[in-house]
Amino acid sequence: MKNYLQHGDTLDFTAPSGGVVSGSPVIIGGQLVVPAVTAAEGAVFAAKTTGVFSLKAEGAVSGQAWAEGDTLYWDNTNKQFTKTSSGNTKRGHAVAAKLTADVVGSVKLIPTL
């Protein structure tokens, strides 16, 4: 195919105000991505748009547990995944159970357009 560009699971983006930190999810446009590198504001950086990651999750404070397969939402205010849909955006699924005290969980990102 002459028009194929790339797989699309890793793309280049421009770091927003404040820059990005490797491994810390960030919203670019309407897409939640996980930066592969730390980059200053305005710098081009590579980020994963899909995959399974160990990411910050609503945990000990709220006592939220996850079951395998739970739908997860991105809480952009607290920069964490949660099962609470209100005010948050659907962005993933739990790959494994998470105990109430756990502050990270295994998340399969849902790619967005």
| 22 and 55 together in one domain | no
pLDDT band (50, 70, 90) for residue 113: low
Predicted local distance difference test score (pLDDT) of residue 94? 96
- Each residue's pLDDT tens digit, 14-58: 999 999 999 999 999 889 999 999 999 999 999 999 999 999 998
Same-domain pairing of 106 and 63: yes
pLDDT of amino acid 47:
97
User: Are 33 and 82 members of one domain?
Assistant: no
Same domain, 59 and 104: yes
Same domain, 87 and 103: yes
Same domain, 57 and 16: no
Residues 77 and 108 in one domain: yes
Q: What is the pTM of this model?
A: 0.88
Query: Do 111 and 66 fall within a single domain?
Result: yes
Q: Are residues 56 and 35 in the same domain?
A: no
Residue 68 has pLDDT above 60, yes or no: yes
d(C-alpha 113, C-alpha 103), whole Å: 28
Domain that holds residue 84: 50-113
Residues 62, 43: one domain?
no
- Look at residue 63 in the predicted model and tell me its pLDDT: 73
Amino acid type, 44 = V
**DSSP string spanning 21-87?**
-TT--EEETTEEEEESS-B-TT-EEEEESSEEEEEEBS-TTTT--B-TT-EEEEETTTTEEES--TT
pLDDT average, residue stretch 85-106: 93
Residue 55 and residue 44 share a domain: no
Average of per-residue pLDDT values in the chain? 92
- CA–CA dist 35, 49 (Å, integer): 9
Q: What is the pLDDT of residue 31?
A: 92
pLDDT at 12: 96
Please give the tally of structural domains in the chain: 2
